[in-house]
A and B are shown apart, each in its own frame.
Chain A
């Protein structure tokens, strides 16, 4: 591979290359979009079962048509896929076998039959058969314009169906019982959803093949999930992931024609999803670590302000300048925690510092006072409403005082009737 390959690819001037690109992008988008619904129904692995179960259909279609005729292949693939879904359900309904077993039985049985048919084809010496084993790991580069027209049309129809029935599909995936209770034809929608999933799989195997197909459904949805709670946004992001991976797959099939495209598409999808899992705001793992750190900082700062308040409280003198040792005398901090907190509070203008001594600002005082107030209110709540002994409430209040928002604070003081003293006879400092 060299620079020229890259420019050739992205110049979109090569017609047959464009066919491949368009095909893989469409397929990537379609499977990713459809996969979102399987993901939400917690039926991620059914995509795995369906994709393996499609192989017999591919082989039968090939054997009957004598060639890689897409119409035959798609039709028999879909039949095979639908049959497998029905088979799975039948097993679960009529026997003691559970979901996990039914999935695996269907997957392996159908796939075994498929591989057997495949080896019959391979050994039959049919000249066209060399294309068929590409269905195992995918070979996007083999897509012709005539193929594209058919696969492309199927994709567009599938996407249209998703758009039209979006609300219904979402409901069926999220809250089946609610749908039933408002009289929706839930079973019809589920059947439709299953069918387009099977269709998406049947066409998607062009790019990644039967074995890895499940990933095309599951992985983009998994990654998209980390970015949003909103169904529409999730489907959009998944589609983008799928499309990007399609382009990547087409690129690989161009510069490395002897490699199967499938694994490369999956690697691209997995990379995108891994980035999502780690870095997505609100739900990403690294974000969780950052949140924890933020909480620790917040707790630390608030505890420092509270200590300042407590020191000044007996004489109601809050303008004292305190050293670090003064603070630690009132409440224990490690020197690292204290230094860090003090610095942050100074930046936030809650404390001022002169020559290593620290003083509360007005806003710092306000906050420290508020924390002391919440702590005492919460202790009252615990003793009065939850019947917890007064000597057991301090630790709880030490923790919860940091999570009570101004709204909760208002609710709390109202509920308690604006008490004047806490269970330990300390006064409650209102504004």
Chain B
């Protein structure tokens, strides 16, 4: 039983001085399609960002493959929310897909045809290869998402972290992407998705995390995705936590544990 692909230990993270993640503790199984669900503002995006090393926690730590994330950033593909980017940037679909090769290159190394070929292969997998020269400002939401996915595929990572990949995406694209993700999982990849649509949780995910500031439940979907846990997640026993969070913010309490 090797090191877990992601280990999160007693993680407390604040946003704007108020804790949005509280003592989160879990280990992710590898080779599965894992969903993170919870109400808005529950800290799901923040969790992804903290795993990725984009955000500093107040306490606790994240380990990937048993080590700090810096050692493994290459093996982790992060797919941010679509709105986090300005799509008016003058670039083509292929340019974005090729970005996936950047983590494999040295500081001064140039992008060559080999890189472009690999990127093009990824575009084929998401059926965007006909659009490879299209300007990204002309893409629909679903096409943008597929381009982001192509970038992640080009990176050839082992772990994928995706932040709300299905927000504002048409149903056909969503179905295509999910089947692609399942295919990746069958090849041994691990995929973590912050998801917003409860209707599709059972179909999509093998394993889920239910989060509302605290970790309400975690485990195989069939075991954990039930009425009780849903109620706890969305109608929170965690409102008291929220109250304390407000006091912490208001009084500038230095949240620092262990």
What residues on B are CB-neighbors of A400 within 8 Å? Answer: 244
What residues on A are CB-neighbors of B255 within 8 Å? Answer: 399
Q: Which of B227-258 contact A (CB under 8 A)?
A: 237-238, 240-241, 243-244, 247-248, 251-258
Q: Cβ of B257 and Cβ of A399 under 8 Å apart?
A: yes
CB contact between A408 and one of B22, B215, B243, B253 (< 8 Å): that residue: B243
CA distance A36 to B119 in the complex (A): 51
CB contact between A386 and one of B23, B253, B258 (< 8 Å): that residue: B23
Chain A, residue nearest B214 (CB): A386
Say whether, besides A386-B22, A399-B255, A96 and B88 are in contact (CB < 8 Å): yes
CB contact between B244 and one of A291, A296, A389, A403 (< 8 Å): that residue: A403
Q: Interface residue tally of chain A, by bracket?
A: 20 to 34
CA distance A402 to B257 in the complex (A): 12
Q: Interface residue tally of chain B, by bracket?
A: 20 to 34
Q: Cβ of A395 and Cβ of B59 under 8 Å apart?
A: yes
Q: Cβ of A387 and Cβ of B216 under 8 Å apart?
A: yes
Q: Which of B38-71 contact A (CB under 8 A)?
A: 59
Q: Cβ of A403 and Cβ of B247 under 8 Å apart?
A: yes
Chain B, residue nearest A292 (CB): B254
Interface bits A226-263 vs B (CB < 8 Å: 1, else 0):
00000000000000000000000000000000000000
* B25 on the A face (CB < 8 A): yes
Say whether, besides A403-B248, A404-B244, A408-B247, A387 and B257 are in contact (CB < 8 Å): no
Q: Which of A125-178 contact B (CB under 8 A)?
A: none
* B10 on the A face (CB < 8 A): yes
* B133 on the A face (CB < 8 A): no
Q: Cβ of B25 and Cβ of A389 under 8 Å apart?
A: yes
Say whether, besides A382-B23, A387-B217, A399 and B88 are in contact (CB < 8 Å): no
* A392 on the B face (CB < 8 A): yes
* B103 on the A face (CB < 8 A): no
Q: Cβ of A396 and Cβ of B247 under 8 Å apart?
A: no
CA distance A415 to B69 in the complex (A): 39
CB contact between A385 and one of B237, B244, B247 (< 8 Å): that residue: B237
* B140 on the A face (CB < 8 A): no
Interface core residue of A295, A385, A411 (most chain B CB under 10 Å): A385
CB contact between A412 and one of B12, B217, B240 (< 8 Å): that residue: B240
* B137 on the A face (CB < 8 A): yes
CA distance A66 to B252 in the complex (A): 60
Interface core residue of A96, A288, A389 (most chain B CB under 10 Å): A96
Say whether, besides A386-B22, A392-B25, A405 and B247 are in contact (CB < 8 Å): yes
Q: Distance in Å from the Cβ of A99 to the closest Cβ of chain B? A: 12
CA distance A288 to B251 in the complex (A): 10
Say whether, besides A395-B10, A395-B59, A288 and B252 are in contact (CB < 8 Å): yes
Say whether, besides A96-B137, A404-B244, A412-B240, A396 and B23 are in contact (CB < 8 Å): yes
Chain A, residue nearest B247 (CB): A403
Chain B, residue nearest A411 (CB): B240
Q: Which of A401-431 contact B (CB under 8 A)?
A: 402-405, 408, 411-412, 415
Q: Distance in Å from the Cβ of A118 to the closest Cβ of chain B? A: 35
What residues on A are CB-neighbors of B10 within 8 Å? Answer: 392, 395-396
CA distance A382 to B12 in the complex (A): 13
Q: Cβ of A386 and Cβ of B88 under 8 Å apart?
A: no
Q: Cβ of B254 and Cβ of A295 under 8 Å apart?
A: yes
Q: Cβ of A403 and Cβ of B251 under 8 Å apart?
A: yes
What residues on B are CB-neighbors of A392 within 8 Å? Answer: 10, 23, 25
Q: Which of B64-102 contact A (CB under 8 A)?
A: 86, 88
CA distance A96 to B137 in the complex (A): 10
* A398 on the B face (CB < 8 A): yes
CB contact between A295 and one of B59, B215, B241, B252 (< 8 Å): that residue: B252
Say whether, besides A387-B216, A403-B251, A408-B244, A395 and B237 are in contact (CB < 8 Å): no
Chain A, residue nearest B212 (CB): A386
CA distance A96 to B135 in the complex (A): 14
Q: Cβ of B215 and Cβ of A387 under 8 Å apart?
A: yes
Interface bits A379-395 vs B (CB < 8 Å: 1, else 0):
00110011111001101
Q: Distance in Å from the Cβ of A162 to the closest Cβ of chain B? A: 31
Q: Distance in Å from the Cβ of B26 to the closest Cβ of chain A? A: 11
CB contact between B25 and one of A98, A288, A388, A402 (< 8 Å): that residue: A388
CA distance A354 to B255 in the complex (A): 36
Q: Cβ of B253 and Cβ of A295 under 8 Å apart?
A: yes
Chain B, residue nearest A412 (CB): B240
What residues on B are CB-neighbors of A292 within 8 Å? Answer: 252, 254
CA distance A96 to B138 in the complex (A): 12
What residues on A are CB-neighbors of B247 within 8 Å? Answer: 403, 405, 408
Q: Distance in Å from the Cβ of B165 to the closest Cβ of chain A? A: 25
Chain A, residue nearest B255 (CB): A399
Q: Distance in Å from the Cβ of A291 to the closest Cβ of chain B? A: 5
What residues on A are CB-neighbors of B217 within 8 Å? Answer: 387
Q: Cβ of A385 and Cβ of B238 under 8 Å apart?
A: yes
Q: Cβ of B257 and Cβ of A398 under 8 Å apart?
A: yes
Query: What are 19 pairs between A and B in contact, CB < 8 Å?
Result: A96-B137, A292-B254, A295-B254, A296-B254, A386-B22, A386-B23, A386-B215, A386-B238, A386-B241, A389-B25, A392-B23, A395-B257, A396-B10, A396-B258, A398-B257, A399-B59, A399-B257, A404-B244, A405-B247
Q: A292-B252, A398-B258, A399-B256 are in contact. List 11 more A-B contacts (CB 8 A).
A: A98-B88, A381-B240, A385-B214, A388-B23, A389-B25, A396-B12, A396-B23, A402-B253, A403-B244, A403-B247, A408-B244
Question: Would you list the 10 A-B pairs with minimal beta carbon distance, nearest first?
Answer: A395-B258, A386-B214, A96-B88, A399-B257, A395-B257, A385-B237, A403-B253, A291-B252, A388-B23, A396-B23
